[in-house]
Structure 1
Amino acid sequence: MPAQYYTQEQIKEIVSYAAQRFITVIPEIDMPGHATAANKAYPEFSGGGAPGHPEFTFNPGKEETYTYLSNILRETNALFPAQMIHLGGDEVSYGNQKWPTNPDIQRLMASHGLKDVKTVERYFMKRMADSVYMRNAKLLLWDEMAEVDLPVDKTIIYWWRQDRPDVLELALKKGFKTVLCPRLPFYFDFVQDSTHTNGRKWNKLYNSLQNVYNFSVDQYMNVSAQKDLILGVQADLWTETVQNEQRLDFLLFPRITALAEVGWTAKEDRDYQGYMERLKGHLKLFQEAGLYYYNPFYPARSPEPVKIGAGIKRFDTGL
């Protein structure tokens, strides 16, 4: 497969298209992990990986790595007017097994008094954070980075690990503004029905429409004292199991409507049955728009699309 990338003109087109619809596009350049694609193109900056996660990390021990990534961030910030850049920072341990024996990283640890790979990770992120801040942009990070000492007025944490409410508590206690996107129930690449087989689950749990609608952060912790720090909610849809537009539609709709109500309606004011009645009208709109949506009223009419091409059969709503 030939190299795939966005040209600057294509990015400008996407940003403009979104802006006309009141959408702000925020770029994410993952580091120091989730770097396999970048390292395949520029292997000289790789910090190695692990079985199943090849060349997963950037090399934090090479000074050239920081120059390389800072140049990328400079170009990224110029192309996206959001004045926000997400640097990831998650799941580094999936592929940093070569760090302890990497000569570059060993020298870095010795010269800066870094005792282990975790402190190397923090050192790396602080340096790259400065590269974002110097461009007058906000830094966005996944919740693993809540433990790093970063300026809270310039940094936003995305809490995604619903099994780690202690990390949410830490982020809020330190004063970070926070976006709630726990994998349960806001990972939309997770299946949404017990009969669906192509997609992800968490310990056999999945993200049904009702679970999305009924989400409340109160089930994890009492945030009343820090509610002003919570910016809102976000759903994530990772595309490893998304082969075509039909499957993308199927995973998004109608769950994205439930997410919207979570965002603008207080928990005590929500009414799932009332929402389901209103949803019937939205399904008709989805039908008119040509979307291949999941029909929670008649699931058999919207079978799960798995590697199905453009000729997939459309189904009436029956409403």
Structure 2
Amino acid sequence: MKTIFLSMLIFACCLQLSAQQACPVIPLPVQYTRAQGELVLNDNIRIEAKDPSLQPLATYLRNELQRTFNIVSPGKGTAKSPVIILQRIKKNDNVDAYTLKITSSAVVIAASGNEGVFNGITTFLQLAATAGTATPRRVGCWNISDAPHYAWRGFMLDESRFFFGKEKVKSILDWMAFYKLNRFHWHLTDAPGWRLEIKKYPLLTTVGGIGNHTDPKAPATFYTQDDIREIVAYAQERFIQVIPEIDMPGHASAANRAYPAFDGGGTEKYPSFTFNPGKEGTYQYLADILKETATLFPAGMIHLGGDEVSFGNKAWDADSGVAHLMKTKGFNNRKQVEDYFFQRMADTVFNLHNKVMAWDEVATATLPVNKSIVCWWRHDKPENLRLALEKGYAVVMCPRLPLYFDFIQDSTHKIGRRWRVGEFNTLKSVYDFSTGNVPAASGHEQQILGIQACLWSETISNPKRLDFLLFPRISALAEAAWTQPASRNFEQYIERLKPQMKLYEQDKLYFYDYFQPSRHVETGKPTDQKSFID
């Protein structure tokens, strides 16, 4: 009798431990319980879409099963074979919310909309990916109910300073989808190079596309409009919106090399840095560019930059056109000219039925709050965040500390940026980021759309360097964006991160191994901190 009782007690304890087992998914779901049993994932698995609008998602899942797990013919099993069911449930206010139930005979992914179903698919694929490499793959049974903390879960890539190309961008989009990141901010124009084909102004790419941050004579590299359409479609299939950035009125050197008639000058350190706000033709020129840009990107928003204009706008003081503008408008300083310029270009974007995004310098301008989004990046200037929020703007949080991924992630690293007091962006600092720890955001939580990491490429001269800076911090970013701060636990996350290292290796990424730091060494040259624009 004692033996039977002891066996029952052990069984009950095992069930309790099983129910409490951490779900091996990044980002961590809101609610999850481990159920008994496993699903055998093999060629007999069927896929069933309960609504015709879910058919593209069924196709995506089928393709991913083939690509990732070499499941040759998913969807062709018999009626008795395990089935993956995609279905709609009654409306949920959160379009990203989903439920996932896995038993030994079926996987049921349900949501009110396609975004939620897609998120459920990515959770299932991650459970399968981390289930080991045995054939056939056995996926643990789970009951999951999930929804994100933030709607905006973003990543920005700078391709002006280093051009990565179509296949690398697609790989990044794949990993963004894997971690449920859904906004790809694409920095396509800046001083080193112009990377977006504009048919009306072909010299922007053939001349402005020459060079990069380390080699000003490198052959022109850029994306054709067909390339852009292909990448945007690829992102849309993964429910990722692509937001292009056409930086203005500063960071314009590449464009000014191509079309110097619209050059507003710069400084010795930053030559030809600005567009000319005192020349009427500048506004039409940029309007033409934005019109073509809007036709390529259906996200309904364009980022206009607006940052660091003061680095090169001193030349405006000697420009007769700017002097006339200031006199006519009654302006007293260059900042007023800058805001005037930005408001005019924002009106162009609004007329194209797009919203405007911009860096936090634009908080001083006057824009319609229902059509404008401010990206707060200067962590040392909380007053700009406060100003943007008090004026009613929606805000995306992307402070340099800890969300700039060109900053180093380990004290031993020599290549990359540190903040002036020696701070840098560790995996833990990314993971722990919360807007609740930013006093200037207090009381304005409803205006915070979400968070975004930014990867500037001054220190990047090859794709390996990109991998090293992005992985695994992209996973910490994902959990900071998706999971409520109260539910986060860095030590538990680290345990879930361990299987991800194998996935990075399988994808042939040159990642920073948090657990074996010497595994991949840094590539590139030690960084001169003075070479950066802050």
Aligned to 1:73: 290
Please say if residues 189 and 239 of structure 1, whose CA atoms lie closer than 8 Å, have aligned partners that are also in contact: yes
* Residue 530 of structure 2: aligned partner: none
Contact 2:385 2:440 in 1 (8 A): no
Flag the 1:222–1:94 CA change in 2: closer, same or farther, 3 A. Answer: closer
Could you tell me how far 1:2 is from its partner in structure 2? Answer: 4.1
Q: Which residue is 1:317 aligned to?
A: none
- Mapped to 1, the partners of 2:227 and 2:381 lie a distance apart of 38
Residue 217 of structure 1: CA displacement? 2.2
| Counterpart in the other structure of 1:96 | 313
Q: Which residue of 1 aligns with 2:235?
A: 18
Is the CA contact (8 Å cut-off) linking 1:109 and 1:115 kept in structure 2?
Answer: yes
Choose 128-137 or 19-28, whichever is displaced more: 19-28
Given that 2:250 and 2:307 are in contact with CA atoms closer than 8 Å, whether structure 1 keeps it comes out as yes
1:202-235 C-alpha deviation (Å, 9 max, x unpaired):
1121111011111122332163521111000000
Q: Find out whether 1:121 has 2:338 as its counterpart.
A: yes
Q: What code does the residue aligned with 1:232 have? A: G
State how far apart, in whole Å, the 2-side matches of 1:172 and 1:163 are.
16
Instruction: Tell me if 1:136 matches 2:353.
Output: yes
Q: Does 1:189 align with 2:406?
A: yes
Which has the larger share of strand? 2
Aligned residues with identical type, % of pairs = 55
* Counterpart among 319, 324, 329 of residue 112 in structure 1: 329
- Conserved? CA contact 1:26–1:84, under 8 Å: yes
Q: Shift in Å at residue 117 of structure 1?
A: 0.5
CA offset digits 1:242-293 (Å, max 9, x no partner): 1111111110000010001110112222100000000001111111111111
Q: 2:423 aligns with which of 205, 208, 225?
A: 205
Say yes or no: does 1:303 pair with 2:521.
yes
1:251 aligns with 2:462: no
- The answer for the alignment partner of 1:29 in structure 2 is 246
Cα displacement string for residues 175-217 of structure 1 (whole angstroms, at most 9, x for unaligned residues): 1110000000000011111111111111121111011111122
1:44-78 residue CA offsets vs partner (Å, 9 max, x unmatched): 10100112211000000000000000000000001
Give the alignment partner of residue 240 of structure 1, picking from 452, 458, 473. 458
CA distance in 1, matches of 2:427, 2:372: 31
So what's the TM-score if we normalise by structure 2?
0.56
Q: Give the equivalent residue in structure 1 for 2:209.
A: none
- Partner residue, 1:276: 494
> Partners of 1:233 and 1:133 in 2: how far apart?
24
Q: Of 257, 260, 271, which residue of structure 2 is paired with 1:40?
A: 257
Secondary structure of the 1:235 match is: strand
2:479 corresponds to = 261
Matched, 1:151 2:368: yes
Give the conservation status (yes or no) of the 8 Å contact 2:385–2:441.
no
Q: RMSD of the alignment, in Å?
A: 1.2
**3-state DSSP class of the match of 1:98?**
helix
Do the aligned residues in 2 keep the contact of 1:169 with 1:221 (CA within 8 Å)?
no
Q: Counterparts of 1:222 and 1:2 in 2: how far apart (Å)?
A: 45
How far apart are the structure 2 equivalents of 1:149 and 1:84?
A: 18
Alpha-carbon separation, structure 1, partners of 2:237 and 2:326:
48
Name the residue aligned to 2:449: 231
Q: Match for residue 316 of structure 1? A: none
Q: Is 189-198 or 270-279 further displaced after alignment?
A: 189-198
- Say if 2:465 and 2:524, in contact at 8 Å, map to a contact too: yes
1:48 alignment partner AA: G
